[in-house]
Structure 1
Amino acid sequence: MSKSFQTITSDLSKALDTLRAEIPGTMQGFSTMARESMKAGVLSALDKELIALAIGIASRCDGCVGFHVKALIRLGVSREQLMETLGICTYMGGGPSLMYAAEAVRAYDEFMPGAMKSAA
């Protein structure tokens, strides 16, 4: 059975809510760091999300792939921008990154209404 990035991000969101309730200081600190790091500056918010996705792919983190692809779609990423980023991920990370680049395409296709579905 294929994994669903909608299920992964939904399940992780519930678990993150538990962490917010039980270790609020840690989670507030992480949220502040994330919010401040992702603010547009010299790099756009979209550029920063593409970098975050690339690191998630390199780390082989399903949750990172799901959450950052969702954020990229909210920011208006084009399929071409996503694919170019995935090409760099594959170049830098070899075969394992290629497998997670394919997962990022699956996440994009799953979250993007009307997206071209991959042949796999």
Structure 2
Amino acid sequence: MSKLVEEFNDYRTRMNEVILSKNNLVMKRLWNLDTNTYEEGALDKKTKEMLGLVASMVLRCDDCIKYHLGKSYELGVTTEQMYEIFAVANIVGGTIVIPHTRRAAEYWEELQTNAQ
């Protein structure tokens, strides 16, 4: 696994454990709601992750972008599909999204490298 991907996953896991260990009911409910939102429903998981990625790019949340890139990769999103997702996010969000697209492309390349 690349250093970039490993560092993100390790940090996210570690800090989620810290947050959830405080036993705050609202935070636990929020985490549960997030998990359930991306479960199979009228939309499949892959579509929901792609929607989450576009929203994250438009909102300019790099951690969220990395998370949804990883999930999209796991669910079989292709590079061609990914660049269409990037295009939608940039049209919706405007040119302010371009720096996030660069970082997203870098992370996507790292995910691809891990598979080889």
TM-score, length-scaled by structure 2: 0.84
- Is the Cα contact below 8 Å between 1:89 and 1:97 reproduced in 2? yes
Using the alignment, how far apart are the partners of 1:110 and 1:102 within structure 2?
13
Unaligned runs of 5+ in 2: none
Q: 1:118 is matched with which residue?
A: none
Letter aligned with residue 25 of structure 2: G
Give deviations 1:8-60, integer Å, cap 9, x for gaps: 33213211110010134234312321222111222111110011111111121
Q: 2:76 is matched with which residue?
A: 76
Higher helix share: 2
RMSD of the alignment, in Å? 2.0
Using the alignment, how far apart are the partners of 2:26 and 2:13 within structure 1?
16
SS in 2 for 1:19: helix
Unaligned runs of 5+ in 1: 116-120
Q: Is 2:92 the partner of 1:92?
A: yes
- Is the Cα contact below 8 Å between 1:50 and 1:85 reproduced in 2? yes
- Is the Cα contact below 8 Å between 1:57 and 1:65 reproduced in 2? yes
Letter aligned with residue 78 of structure 1: T
Q: Which has the higher contact order (CA 8 A, sep 6+)?
A: 2
TM-score, length-scaled by structure 1: 0.82
